[in-house]
Amino acid sequence: MIAEEFGFIGVLVVVGLFGWLIVKAFLIGLRAAQLERNFNALVAQGIAIWIGVQSLINMGVNVGLLPTKGLTLPFLSFGGSGILANCLAIAVLLRIDWENRQMMRGKTF
């Protein structure tokens, strides 16, 4: 649908935004690991893998490279529970980033 409405540039923007989100999630996990917060690091990296794999599978199905799996494109496809789960995952990721920034300023939790 995005390709039909916005063309190649729109597809590149959407794929680029997903790539940026995944890289940022891995960087948040890396920063948590450097601060010796291993559980937070693993959670952040797990969220990155979850959103990344789900996005790749959905894009592969839409292009015709993969068989249909029924996975929605995170944040874009219609579906209440899928969007809710992705929003909760991003909320957890933002909290991990906030705690990392607070620890870098010298506050402890």
pLDDT for the residue 70: 80
Distance CA 75, CA 97 (A): 20
Closest CA to 61 of 48, 51, 72: 72
The structure's pTM equals 0.88
pLDDT, mean of residues 51-62: 91
User: Which pLDDT tens digit goes with each residue over 2-35?
Assistant: 888 888 899 999 999 999 999 999 999 999 999 9
Angstrom CA distances, 100 to 25, 26, 44, 56, 89, stand at 13, 13, 12, 28, 17
